[in-house]
Structure 1
């Protein structure tokens, strides 16, 4: 993060107001390093793509989405493309009906404009004024935001972790659960059972999700759709486009426009 991120965040962590917001821009490839915040955080990029890692897993957060991070969660943010972050810090202990788990949420046009406007509000805004009303409306919009499936759970079990690392290193791999099981000295049934227990997903579901999130990262780098499709294990560009449209309602060529 440009400057001293620790010092910059401290003012927002210690603010008297329940809800405050800040902005910061990053170059392509930058990383925040591992850190945590005492407040809950809504992390939104108006440009670029964020990949956020935590012990609970990985989230990919493109524009028109945001990541809700619960207070105290240790995480790292990596940037794909030049990224302009607008983030809201919230003392969730002072408010009801906010998410209890970290998640990617949709950002409506109204929520986006509220986030952008909140960044311009000073930390010491009066409690009963237009700025305070705007912040309350922002909270209401966060409560109503739809949850999106852009999370890749991280397993703790060593054998499952080894498989996941292999799938991430080579998303085009067609190795089956049975083939992975032979490498690890277990049956395919055991592989499937461990995946569901560790990640809440089947082996195939986890692999498909990993491919999707890797594709999002690469598309943010303006790579050709056909190259991303083949490198992520799809038989054709049309098969990749059909999957992408099912998830996001638009083809990959239009996603970042």
Structure 2
């Protein structure tokens, strides 16, 4: 098992004159990386386990077969769910045209996966024109063609709305309607509707639906029964949960981590 790297080891992966560098690190379940940021853009991929990345503007959930692209300079934290085999690619801003614009979760098809795994063995001082440089150039080319995925949960700025969102994540099974939340927050229902839409780009109902699915992903990653996950996240049945899961992610929950 690869050892967890010492603090700030990433600095030399960002200071190398080469436009791309990759780092391997393994973390136990529950490990937490404190708020930090990088000078370079970052592709975070885990061949095993689930990563939960949080920034001030939102949260991303990253299961295996997916990765998260983080813009340069974005302060964020990372929490590990399950034992995580993390592979990080640092990309110099402007390294090539067509790279993702805006932090997002992306698909990791088989070729990109193998390139990421191979890149961690490439030395920081790889020679121009070498096989290592060709591998890194191919990795960059693949990053310009990957599709974004709906694995992002936007976070409001308004303190009252943030409390509402925290409460939903703490108890996803509860079924308070927006009128009840508005009363508890001391807001008019219409005001809450408008504020939530303005700050997150989503309706309250759609945001709660996303939040429940994201929390369910973490439980499924631990191998928990689908029916238990469904009921604990406010769904009336396993079939209702499976239908919503497939509509959102394009695949059944039983196949998602396979």
Which residue of the partner structure matches residue 63 of structure 2? Answer: 62
1:24 and 1:84 in contact (8 A); partners too: yes
Which residue of the partner structure matches residue 72 of structure 1? Answer: 73
Which of 2, 5, 15 is the equivalent residue of 2:4?
2
Please tell me the root mean square deviation across aligned C-alpha atoms, in Å: 1.2
Question: How far is 1:3 from its partner?
Answer: 4.2
How far apart, CA to CA, are the structure 2 residues paired with 1:87 and 1:3? Answer: 12
How far apart, CA to CA, are the structure 2 residues paired with 1:2 and 1:22? Answer: 11
Gaps of at least 5 residues in structure 2 are none
Q: Would you identify which runs of 4 or more consecutive aligned residues in structure 1 move more than 3 Å?
A: none
Question: How far is 1:162 from its partner?
Answer: 1.6
1:92 and 1:98 in contact (8 A); partners too: no
How far apart, CA to CA, are the structure 2 residues paired with 1:208 and 1:248? Answer: 13
* 1:245 alignment partner, SS class: helix
TM-score between both structures, scaled by the size of structure 1: 0.96
Question: How far is 1:2 from its partner?
Answer: 2.5
Which residue of the partner structure matches residue 52 of structure 2? Answer: 51
Note the alpha carbon deviations across 1:204-225, whole angstroms, 9 max, x for none. Answer: 0110010010000111122221
Which residue of the partner structure matches residue 150 of structure 1? Answer: 151
Which residue of the partner structure matches residue 203 of structure 1? Answer: 204
1:108 aligns with 2:125: no
1:65 and 1:107 in contact (8 A); partners too: yes
2:5 and 2:25 in contact (8 A); partners too: no
Which residue of the partner structure matches residue 225 of structure 2? Answer: 224
Which residue of the partner structure matches residue 129 of structure 1? Answer: 130
TM-score between both structures, scaled by the size of structure 2: 0.96
Which residue of the partner structure matches residue 118 of structure 1? Answer: 119
Question: How far is 1:101 from its partner?
Answer: 0.7
How far apart, CA to CA, are the structure 1 residues paired with 2:180 and 2:57? Answer: 27
2:13 and 2:90 in contact (8 A); partners too: yes
How far apart, CA to CA, are the structure 2 residues paired with 1:30 and 1:235? Answer: 33
* 1:125 alignment partner, SS class: coil
